Each structure stands twice: as C-alpha cells, then as structure tokens.
Amino acid sequence: MKSIWPKSVVLLVAVVLVSGALCSLDAQQGSEPAATAEDPLLIEFRELFKALEEKKQEYDRIEGEITSAAGRDKKAFEKRASELAVGLVDDVQKLAANVVAREEEGQDASSDRERVAEMLQRVSRSARDAIGRLEAEMGELREQHEAAAPEDAVEIEDQFVAVDAQLNRTLEMLLEQIEVMDAFGLDTGTGREFLESFLVERAALLAGRMELTREDVTALERRLEASPDDAALLSEFELMRQRLDGHVADLDTAAGMMESLGIDTADYRQLLFEVTGEITTDLMSGDVLAGLLSRWTGNAVDWVTTNLPRIFFKIVLFLLILLFFRFLSRISRKVVRKAIQTSSLKVSKLLERTALSVTGAAVMIFGILVAMSQLGVEVGPLLAGLGVVGFIIGFALQDTLGNFAAGVMILLYRPYDVGDLVEVAGGTGKVNQMSLVATTILTLDHQTLVIPNSKIWGDVIKNVTAQKERRIDMVFGISYSDDIPHAERVLGEILGNHEKVLEDPEPMVRLHNLGESSVDFVVRPWVKTEDYWDVYWDVTREVKIRFDAEGISIPFPQRDVHVIEEKATESA
C-alpha cells in the first residue's frame, strides 16, 4: 500500500522545533560565557550549551539516516528525532531558568538573557507553526479515512491517533513554553492568544465529536443485543469504543490546559462525567457541581413533563386490570365452590381448598401478566426467567417438594379427610387441617401435631372413623361357679335394651375363653361411628350393675399354687 502520509509528522515536528533552537545556538557558539571554577551556575550554563551541541550533532546524523531508511527503521529514527527535539526544548528552558537564577544572585547575565530570549521566542513560534501543520495533517487524514477502503481505514485510524497524540504533546509543550517565558519576563501575548483560541475551538470540536461517537456506540449496543454473534458488529463496536475513549482523553487534556490558562471548563467537565461516570477532583468545583445539578434537574423536569401523562395512564390501566382480575378471581372461586358443593362426587376438604386456591391464583397470575404487558414488560422472557428461578428453588427445596408430592398423592387417594380420627406417623388424633405440605392433627388430649405429608404417606395410615359403622369389642369374665346361660341372657338383654346398638349387623355374645380365673364372654355390638364411646361406656357400666343384681360374680385374677414338700433323707 502507498504511504498515506506525504511526510512523517514526527519528523516534521522535530524539524520545526529544532530549527528554532539550534539556529540560535549556532549563532552563539563563538560567544559562550567564560566560566570560573567558583561559579557553579556559569558552569551549568556552559554544560547546557554543550548538551545542546551534542543533541544538534546527533540530530543531524539521524536526519541523514531518516532520508535513507525505510519501514520500521525509519519510524525508529523518526521517534528518536522527536525525542531529541523535546530534549532541545527542555534544555532551552533550563537555560532560561539558569539565567533567572544568576540574575537573582546579582550577576550580570544581560548578554545571555538576550540570546536565551531569542531562543525561547523561536521555539514558541516553531511550536505554533507545528500545531498548525499538525492540525492540517489531521484534516487530510480525516478526508483520506472517509474515502479509504476498509482494509486501509484501520491503518489511517492508527496514524490519526499518532498525529493526535503528537498534537497534544506539542500543545502541552507550548503551554510550558508560555509559562517559562512569563517567568523570564518576555511578552507571551501572541502565544497565549493563539493557544487560548486553538484550545477553545478544539475543545468545542472534541465535545461534539464525543457526543456523536457516544450516540454511535449506543446504536451499536442496541444492534448487538439483537445480533450478539455478529463479528462485523463487534469489530465496529470495539473501534467506536476506542474512538470514544480517545475523544474523552483528548477533551480531558484540552480542559486541563484551558484551566491552566484560566478558561472556564465547567461544561466540558460535566460532559466528561456524563460520558465516563468517573468521579474526579475536577468535579469538586462548585461550577461543575452546580452545572451537573442544573442539567440533571432540567432533564428530570423534561422527562416528567413528557412522560408523566403516559405513565399516569399506564399506572391507572395497570391498577384497573388488577382490580378487574381480582374481582374475576373471587367470582371464579365462588363458581368452583358452588360446583363442588352441588356435585354428587365426594370431594375431600383438601381437594376443595386446593381447587379454590389454584383457580384464584391462576386468574390473578394471568391478570398480573396482562397488566405488566401494558407497562411494556416482555412477558416471554419474564416467564423464561421464572422457569429458571423455579428450577433453582425446586433444587434447593427438595424436601419441601417431597412433602408437596405426598400431599398430591393424599389428595388423589383420599385416605382421610378433615374431621377423621387417624393414627399416622406415630400420632393419633382428629384431622384439624390439611394442606399440600403438611397435615395438622388435634390429639385426644387437645395437643396440636403438624406432620409433614411425606412422613404420613411413607408410613401406615389408620383411619379410625373412615366407616359409618363400627364394632365394639368387649370382654367380660364370670366365675366358674356362675350359670353360663344366665350370663348370656343378661348380656343379650343389655345390648337389646340399648337404643344406640344397631340391630343389623346383629350384636354378638359368645363364650370366648376359659381363663385361669374366669370364664370370658366376648360382647360385640355394632354402632354408628359417632356413638362408639357412648355405647362402650354405657354397656360396661350396665354389665357391672346387672351382674351385681343377678348375683353373677366377676372374679379377681387368681392362681392356685401347690407346694410339694419332700423330707430330707438322713444319711447313714
């Protein structure tokens, strides 16, 4: 590819700066001051002149090498030439400081002052010329970049960055030169006016470019959200980010130099903060903070003025949708409850409660999704996110989900219901409350047991009151000397006379066992489940009363013990 730069910018700057310093030096080589061993400042002045001469000679040699070199070697020589130019300017400034120090000590340095003053003025003029040429070179590069092919655009961009860095360096050099000339007592009006005008124009241009580049970056970010794997978009996005960073750095540098010249930069500091978000010491300025607060307040007022009616309408619509679906949820619960109550199917309390809860919750969830969609929320990604969250929660709550699964099985198979007397998981009592997670049991002595459904479903479930009728099993014993038919007749009369004993199935009285101390009868009447204990206690009481009245004895447990005694045999 043909070189895009007609002349190396680094070399151009070096030539311009050196031409001012060394021409003055060549003219003064024959009139260097004579230093004495007792005067260290004069010795320093002479050494500085000597250093200038050495750098001039090295620069002349490198200039010849640049002419014949090519490629990376040429760039290396140009870089060295630029470093020498900067060193020459530094040495001239040191000479100025040396002259001022000698004058403060009362020495006569008038001849040296004239020579150094001429050198300072030449360097200042050279720096201004270099700035103008660099600015023109950057303009040419911009035009070439717009017309360049994609494969050449990257190289031009790199060259533009290099020229821009050299321009910043030269501007800083000119600012330092003005400060040195002020300290030296020279007129800096022309240089200061040039630098102030250039920096004000440059800062305004950089601010505009930075805002345009930020808009380009924002637009590319939106495009990347739609096509995150597009390599071309990624490359363009990175290029724009680098360009934005370059504009930020340039504007920060320009603002710093403007502040050194006493120019107000509050607007630019505000813009830098808005773009980068970095809090620096420059933000502590009252003007910057006041400007930021004013801009934020204005933006907030504009946003509220523009969007408040629309937001208010959406909020009202959101609330109305929620109220409507809340009303619809209540209606749906009532409809489901009515359908369950009028159904001929036997539905457990748990199933009824679950059906009501699921119906109401489903209607409300659907209503919330509809309401959120009116606020601009994407329902699809939201549901996907809820699915992921549900998976994570399910993994973390495995035991709880096990209880839930057991609750579903209890719901389907209905081994018990609210109000049943059950024996489950080591506990006995009446079922007081049921859910899909746990069952609450109220024991016979009025204690509350909350048992996880997984423990209930994984063990034996005994439902004492599941059937409408129950058989009472009782055993009564009489003495061996009592009349068995008489006892049977008395027991039968007791059962027949009790109003809560069912005739069908027929009650049973049978001689069951000939025990160690009694003849045992089994008495087995059938009763309704809710009459179980009343009949049990009534029959037991009536048996004792009738047996006493009929002369039938209920023997105490007894056992005959026979003791066999053997006389000890006397030994012979």
Report pLDDT digits (tens) over 284-318: 555 555 655 666 676 677 777 777 787 788 888 88
Tokens of 66: 């640049």
Cβ density class 336-354: b for 16+ within 10 Å, e for less: beeeeeeeeeeebebbbbb
- Looking at per-residue pLDDT, the higher value among 475 and 232 belongs to 475
Same domain (yes/no): 343, 424: no
Go through the chain and tell me how many residues it has.
Answer: 572
Q: Which of the listed residues 445, 463, 481 is the one where a domain comes to its end?
A: 463
CATH number of the domain enclosing 107: 1.20.58
Same domain (yes/no): 217, 351: no
Q: How many domains does the chain have?
A: 5
**Is residue 8 pLDDT above 50, yes or no?**
no
Same domain (yes/no): 392, 525: no
Same domain (yes/no): 353, 433: no
Same domain (yes/no): 10, 146: yes
Is residue 215 in some structural domain?
yes
Report pLDDT digits (tens) over 91-137: 888 888 888 888 888 887 788 788 888 888 888 888 888 888 888 88
Tokens of 482: 């009592």
> Would you place residue 473 in the very low, low, confident or very high pLDDT band (cuts 50, 70, 90)?
very high
C-alpha pair distances (Å), 492 with each of 388, 495, 502, 541 = 70, 5, 13, 15
Contact 455, 442 (CB under 8 A): no
Average pLDDT over residues 336-358: 73
> Would you place residue 146 in the very low, low, confident or very high pLDDT band (cuts 50, 70, 90)?
confident
Instruction: Give the residue among 286, 250, 294 at the shortest CA–CA distance from 266.
Output: 286
Is residue 160 in some structural domain?
yes
Please write down the HEC assignment for all residues of 254-298. Answer: HHHHHHHCCCCCHHHHHHHHHHHCCCCHHHHCHHHHHHHHHHHHH
Average pLDDT over residues 72-96: 79
Is residue 296 in some structural domain?
no
What percentage of the chain reaches a pLDDT higher than 70? 82
Same domain (yes/no): 94, 107: yes
Q: What is the pLDDT of residue 395?
A: 53
Cβ density class 525-558: b for 16+ within 10 Å, e for less: bbbeeebbeebbebbeebbeebbeeeebeebeee
Q: What is the pLDDT of residue 572?
A: 47
User: What number of H helices and E strands is found in the chain?
Assistant: 15, 10
C-alpha pair distances (Å), 166 with each of 99, 135, 300, 399 = 30, 10, 41, 69
Is residue 557 in some structural domain?
no
Range of the domain at 453: 414-463
Same domain (yes/no): 98, 136: yes
Average pLDDT over residues 130-158: 80
Q: Which of the listed residues 187, 207, 227 is the one where a domain comes to its end?
A: 187
Report pLDDT digits (tens) over 179-193: 888 888 888 888 888
Same domain (yes/no): 179, 266: no
Q: What is the pLDDT of residue 500?
A: 93
Q: Which amino acid is at 529?
A: T
Report pLDDT digits (tens) over 193-219: 888 888 888 888 888 888 888 888 888
Is residue 532 in some structural domain?
yes
Q: Which of the listed residues 396, 426, 448 is the one where a domain comes to its end?
A: 396
Report pLDDT digits (tens) over 552-569: 999 988 777 788 877 655
Is residue 95 in some structural domain?
yes
CATH number of the domain enclosing 541: 3.30.70.100
- At 193, phi and psi to the nearest 5? -60, -40
Is residue 199 in some structural domain?
yes
Contact 190, 210 (CB under 8 A): no
What percentage of the chain reaches a pLDDT higher than 90? 15
Report pLDDT digits (tens) over 383-441: 666 665 565 555 555 566 777 788 878 877 888 888 888 999 888 999 988 888 888 99
Same domain (yes/no): 123, 79: yes
> Would you place residue 10 in the very low, low, confident or very high pLDDT band (cuts 50, 70, 90)?
very low
Same domain (yes/no): 136, 226: no
Average pLDDT over residues 369-380: 74
**Predicted structure pTM score:** 0.48
Instruction: Give the residue among 240, 179, 238 at the shortest CA–CA distance from 209.
Output: 240
- Looking at per-residue pLDDT, the higher value among 516 and 305 belongs to 516
Contact 419, 430 (CB under 8 A): yes
Is residue 403 in some structural domain?
no
